[in-house]
């Protein structure tokens, strides 16, 4: 049931590993990058609770959550094809906006899908399996530009702003996205509501935009205490990750490869190596996903998640201490451990406290505590970079480690 996350992660990993570089290829300055990433949190803030609300109230011949998986995958795959052909910064930013909205349409119902389909004692295993497929997809997607250059001999054409290795990677990512989601849709059967007539009658009682808004705000007002506690942890965790995604790739190019600017061949080599490092942390995520369920059973979910965040923080802070490109693998190993837990433990801790009939809407609301920090990061980190950090991209990555801690 989680195989579709393999494809969804192609969409996320390709943008996380390459969008900052694409923006800089097209002429963006380091302090402009956070604002250009604003598309992702704004679309998540608007789309996820609405999609959660709608999917809670949906039952079709295809199922409850699966129609949303499929529509989002089709739209996102189209955007992945167009993205590396962007000719201006604002064209790329507009495509990122549509891409993120489409990925959110696919991704949010996948979280509720596990809660729908599995008994409580299997929730940790279910969300860990999502981490497994996310890690596997990210390994391949993040490494694609490096593989294109070093295994398949793809070289950049002089007249192209965006590297040919990045361009082909996005095309392959589009095919993987739609293919993996279609596999889940075709092979997984959803359970219908226990009383379908009562489900339809309840749905008809509350229809329209106002009723939907009332239910979303009502759910926010009635958030369980456990959700408030876990959300506070999310609120500090995710800005640390965003700083890594904003700046790790250009930091590798400038700090480790000493590239003078985006037009330098050293910069392209740095971008490709950063993609390989991202693939490595995803490989660690992929492997560590197997260890999470027994670890959580032994130590508890809360302690397990706390330890994993500390390991990730040490990894990010160590990026600034690395003196050669191979040391980055040790740094990214720590990030991989944290990422595996971030993708599973908060949801496994949360889902037992939520009403089953409102899993979709609450998963969408939980996403607020990911996207609101990202909005703050997008609006504020550019000023921070320019005025406090001297546009030092490696310092920004280290600050991300401090936030995880």
pLDDT at 23 over 80: yes
User: What is the tens place of the pLDDT at every residue in 103-119?
Assistant: 888 887 888 888 888 88
Angle CA 80–144–5, to nearest 5 = 60
Of 291, 309, 388, the C-alpha closest to 346 is 309
CB 28 within 8 A of CB 247: no
User: What is the tens place of the pLDDT at every residue in 269-314?
Assistant: 898 899 889 889 888 988 898 899 999 999 999 999 999 999 999 9
Q: What is the mean pLDDT of residues 69-81?
A: 94
Handedness of CA 34, 37, 42, 48 (dihedral sign): negative
Give me Rg for the CA atoms of the chain: 20
CB 332 within 8 A of CB 284: yes
User: What is the tens place of the pLDDT at every residue in 193-222?
Assistant: 777 777 677 667 666 667 777 888 888 888
Q: What is the mean pLDDT of residues 141-161?
A: 75
Six token digits for residue 390: 């001297």
pLDDT at 318 over 90: yes
Residue 331 main-chain phi, psi, to 5 deg: -60, -45
- The neighbouring-strand residues paired with 60 are 63
pLDDT at 159 over 60: no
């Amino acid at each position: 049931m989680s195989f579709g996350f393999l494809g969804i992660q192609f969409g996320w990993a390709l943008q996380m590993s390459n969008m900052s570089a694409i923006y800089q290829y097209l002429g963006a300055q380091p302090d402009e990058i956070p604002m250009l990433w604003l598309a992702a949190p704004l679309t998540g803030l608007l789309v996820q609770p609405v999609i959660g609300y709608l999917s809670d109230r949906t039952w079709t011949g295809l199922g409850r959550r699966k129609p949303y998986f499929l529509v989002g995958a089709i739209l996102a795959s189209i955007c992945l094809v167009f993205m590396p052909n962007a000719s201006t910064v604002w064209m790329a930013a507009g495509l990122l906006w549509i891409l993120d909205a489409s990925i959110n349409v696919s991704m949010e119902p996948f979280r509720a899908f596990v809660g729908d389909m599995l008994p409580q004692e299997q929730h940790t295993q279910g969300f860990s399996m999502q981490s497994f497929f996310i890690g596997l997809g990210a390994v391949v997607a993040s490494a694609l530009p490096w593989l294109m250059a070093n295994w398949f001999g793809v070289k950049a054409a002089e007249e192209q702003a965006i590297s040919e290795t990045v361009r082909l990677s996005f095309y392959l990512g589009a095919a993987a996205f739609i293919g993996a989601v279609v596999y889940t849709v075709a092979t997984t059967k959803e359970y219908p509501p226990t009383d379908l007539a009562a489900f339809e009658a309840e749905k008809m009682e509350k229809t329209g935009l106002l009723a939907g808004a009332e239910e979303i705000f009502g759910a926010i007002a009635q958030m369980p205490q456990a959700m408030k506690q876990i959300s506070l942890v999310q609120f500090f965790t995710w800005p640390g990750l965003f700083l890594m995604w904003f700046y790790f790739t250009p930091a590798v190019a400038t700090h480790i490869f000493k590239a003078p600017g985006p037009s330098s061949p050293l910069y392209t080599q740095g971008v490709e190596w950063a993609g390989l490092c991202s693939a490595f942390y995803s490989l660690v995520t992929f492997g560590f996903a197997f260890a999470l369920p027994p670890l959580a059973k032994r130590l508890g979910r809360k302690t397990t998640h706390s330890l994993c965040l500390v390991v990730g923080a040490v990894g990010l802070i160590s990026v600034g201490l690395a003196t050669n490109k191979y040391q980055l693998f040790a740094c990214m190993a720590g990030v991989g451990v944290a990422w595996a837990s971030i993708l599973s433990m908060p949801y496994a801790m949360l889902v037992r406290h939520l009403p089953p009939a409102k899993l979709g809407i609450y998963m969408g609301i939980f996403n607020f505590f990911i996207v609101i920090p990202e909005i703050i990061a997008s609006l504020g980190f550019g000023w921070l970079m320019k005025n406090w950090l001297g546009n030092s991209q490696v310092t920004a990555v280290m600050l991300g480690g401090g936030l995880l801690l």
